[in-house]
């Protein structure tokens, strides 16, 4: 399919070509491409009837479901801007973002409305609410009423390729929220490049598991890429690896994507119980969102027989920038080469490009965000001369393979020495009793910073701080050995599976 000018045109094209084909599976629910197009038209017409139009923000508090896809596509069909929010946020976090993006409409499932309803008068911009569920019927317009009464005819609002289709907040709320604004053009360009990188076709079945649609990984890399190619998306709720394996077997899933945590859970299950499902439909496993240790790749292949292709990217760059080959020939420790629409460079602190294998900051150029919504200061710091300064440290080898070395802002400086947290994390992960680890720097009057490692142990294992420190001493320079090792039950993580390192500094 040729690249189309906007998401509405894309959906209309695939609905025409694959009208009766299943687009989304969720439990017993099956939604064809034609039904997805018609249902999103109903949402689009309902929004127009409310007086919404181009540029208006629509906040979404929705879990993974076919309704999420219908509502998102209905929003962008009229040129409005979808603002999906993390359903785990508490009231204060939501209030910060609602006050920042000033939505005219809030669409939410009933449970997520509960804390907001009493405070709705505080949000002057919100003139309308659509509720999913019967609890607020009579008080707000419900999604069911929209489906029953709205027209399924296509809308004729003129759209431009550069119109913003999505504001995606990149981290937890702060005093200065950073919402990446992504255009129709950027989202479509990324979907094309992503599908090409995965060699994805209409016969592929992609499972959506443990990746929320309010995050770029789930929304762009899985949903929009699959819709663009005419593939089928199977939504698997919860975090049960048993249920995931049942879904792969039952629905003949061909592509599994996840954060490293998913693959670790799968390995743990295989080591504990063996593999009791037929998984021969799978052709591709993809990991993103965080670094994937080599030991996990090796253990997953040992048990399941599949390679894991790594990808790397960030929300400001629409989704992912690099991808390893789908044939399993990716270099160990690397995250692939740039997709067709991206350029990648490694630069020093002055912005000068560095030679092969020299570590520095990763900058990228391609279908970037236009800006951080209503945040010109952070936008100017992030985008310079058309290049996005990612804040990630890395190197590029002689074959163009990118390697991630850590976060620039997370660099630990001990007595003037630069320490990459990933160096420490890689050593501790190699300990036979360690499941997960994160290293951070905490203020120290004498050293500048001291290193703290926070560790999760494998089930049933016991180890002391001293033992782990001795393990590190045999493998790291003395100044890299953590002064403190804290053992915890779990590490705090974002929806995308990234560890919230700022929280570890406060332990």
Per-residue pLDDT reduced to its tens digit, 252-277: 999 999 988 899 899 999 999 999 99
pLDDT (tens digit per residue) in 448-459 = 789 999 999 999
- For residue 182, the model assigns a pLDDT of 98
Cα gap 212→442, rounded to integer Å: 31
Positions of E strands within 376-488: 383-384, 387-396, 402-407, 412-414, 417-419, 434-444, 448-457, 484-488
pLDDT (tens digit per residue) in 202-215 = 999 999 999 999 99
The pTM assigned to this predicted structure is 0.86
- For residue 152, the model assigns a pLDDT of 98
Q: What residue spans of 18-58 are helical by DSSP H? A: 33-50
Residue 251, beta-bridge partner list: none
- For residue 3, the model assigns a pLDDT of 64
Domains defined along the chain, listed by start: 7-188 (3.40.50.12780), 411-504 (3.30.300.30)
- Determine what percent of the chain is predicted with pLDDT higher than 90: 83
Residue 330: partners with Cβ closer than 8 Å, 6 or more residues away? 307, 309, 310, 324, 336, 401
Helix axis angle, 33-50 to 66-77, nearest 10°: 50
Cα gap 485→126, rounded to integer Å: 47
b/e per residue 347-373 (b: at least 16 CB within 10 A): beeeeeeeeeeebbbbbbbbbbbebbb
> Taking every pair of C-alpha atoms in the chain, what is the biggest distance, in angstroms?
70
Residue identified by tokens 């990746």 is: 211
Q: What average pLDDT does the segment 132-139 reach?
A: 94
Cα gap 25→234, rounded to integer Å: 5
Average pLDDT, the chain: 94
Angle at CA of residue 399, ends 395 and 403, nearest 5° = 25
- For residue 465, the model assigns a pLDDT of 97
Contact 231, 239 (CB under 8 A): no
- For residue 439, the model assigns a pLDDT of 95
Q: What average pLDDT does the segment 86-97 reach?
A: 86
Q: Is residue 167 over pLDDT 90?
A: yes
Q: Is residue 172 over pLDDT 70?
A: no
Cα R_g (the chain), whole angstroms: 23
pLDDT (tens digit per residue) in 69-88 = 999 999 999 999 999 998 88
Q: What average pLDDT does the segment 95-100 reach?
A: 94
Give the residue, 171 or 105, on which the prediction is more confident.
Answer: 105
Q: Following DSSP, what letter does each residue of 496-507 receive, concatenated?
A: TS-B-HHHHTT-
- For residue 497, the model assigns a pLDDT of 83
pLDDT (tens digit per residue) in 173-186 = 556 789 999 999 99
Residue 300: partners with Cβ closer than 8 Å, 6 or more residues away? 263, 266, 267, 285, 306, 308
């Amino acid at each position: 399919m040729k690249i189309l000018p906007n998401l509405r045109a894309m959906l209309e094209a695939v609905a025409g070509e694959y009208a009766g084909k299943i687009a989304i599976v969720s439990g017993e629910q099956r939604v064809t491409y034609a039904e997805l197009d018609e249902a999103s038209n109903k949402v689009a017409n309902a929004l127009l009837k409310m007086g919404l139009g181009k540029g208006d923000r629509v906040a979404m508090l929705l879990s993974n479901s076919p309704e999420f896809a219908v509502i998102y596509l209905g929003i962008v069909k009229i040129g409005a801007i979808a603002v999906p929010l993390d359903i785990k946020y508490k009231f204060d976090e939501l209030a910060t973002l609602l006050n920042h993006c000033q939505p005219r409409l809030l669409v939410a499932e009933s449970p997520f409305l509960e804390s907001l309803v009493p405070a709705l008068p505080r949000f002057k911009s919100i003139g309308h609410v659509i509720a999913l569920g019967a609890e607020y019927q009579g008080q707000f317009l419900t999604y069911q009423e929209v489906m029953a009464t709205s027209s399924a005819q296509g809308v004729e609002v003129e759209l431009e390729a550069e119109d913003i289709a999505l504001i995606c907040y990149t981290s937890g709320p702060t005093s200065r929220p950073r919402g990446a604004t992504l255009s129709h053009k950027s989202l479509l360009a990324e979907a094309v490049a992503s599908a090409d990188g995965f060699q994805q076709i209409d016969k592929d079945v992609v499972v959506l598991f443990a990746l929320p649609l309010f995050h770029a990984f789930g929304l762009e890399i899985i949903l929009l890429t699959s819709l663009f190619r005419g593939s089928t998306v199977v939504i698997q709720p919860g975090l049960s690896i048993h249920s995931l394996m049942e879904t792969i077997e039952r629905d003949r899933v061909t592509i599994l994507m996840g954060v490293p945590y998913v693959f670790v859970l799968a390995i743990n299950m295989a080591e504990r119980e063996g593999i009791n499902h037929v998984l021969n439909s799978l052709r591709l496993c993809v990991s993103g969102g965080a670094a994937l240790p080599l030991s996990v790749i090796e253990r997953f292949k040992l048990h399941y027989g599949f390679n894991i292709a790594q990808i790397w990217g960030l929300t400001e760059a629409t989704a992912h920038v690099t991808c390893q080959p789908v044939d399993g020939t990716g270099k160990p420790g690397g995250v692939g080469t740039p997709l067709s629409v991206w350029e990648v460079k490694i630069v020093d602190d002055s912005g000068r490009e560095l030679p092969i294998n020299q570590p520095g900051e990763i900058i990228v150029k391609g279908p970037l965000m236009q800006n951080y919504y209503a945040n010109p200061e952070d936008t100017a710091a992030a985008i310079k001369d058309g290049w996005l300064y990612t804040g990630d440290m890395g190197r590029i080898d002689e074959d163009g393979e990118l390697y991630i070395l850590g976060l620039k802002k997370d660099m630990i400086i001990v007595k003037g020495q630069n320490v990459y947290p990933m160096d420490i994390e890689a050593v501790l992960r190699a300990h036979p009793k360690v499941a997960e680890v994160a290293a951070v720097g905490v203020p120290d009057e004498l050293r500048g910073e001291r290193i703290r490692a926070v560790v999760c142990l494998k089930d049933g294992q016991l180890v002391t701080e001293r033992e782990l420190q001795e393990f590190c001493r045999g493998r790291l320079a003395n100044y890299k050995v953590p002064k403190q090792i804290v053992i915890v039950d779990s590490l705090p993580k974002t929806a995308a599976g990234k560890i919230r390192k700022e929280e570890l500094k406060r332990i």
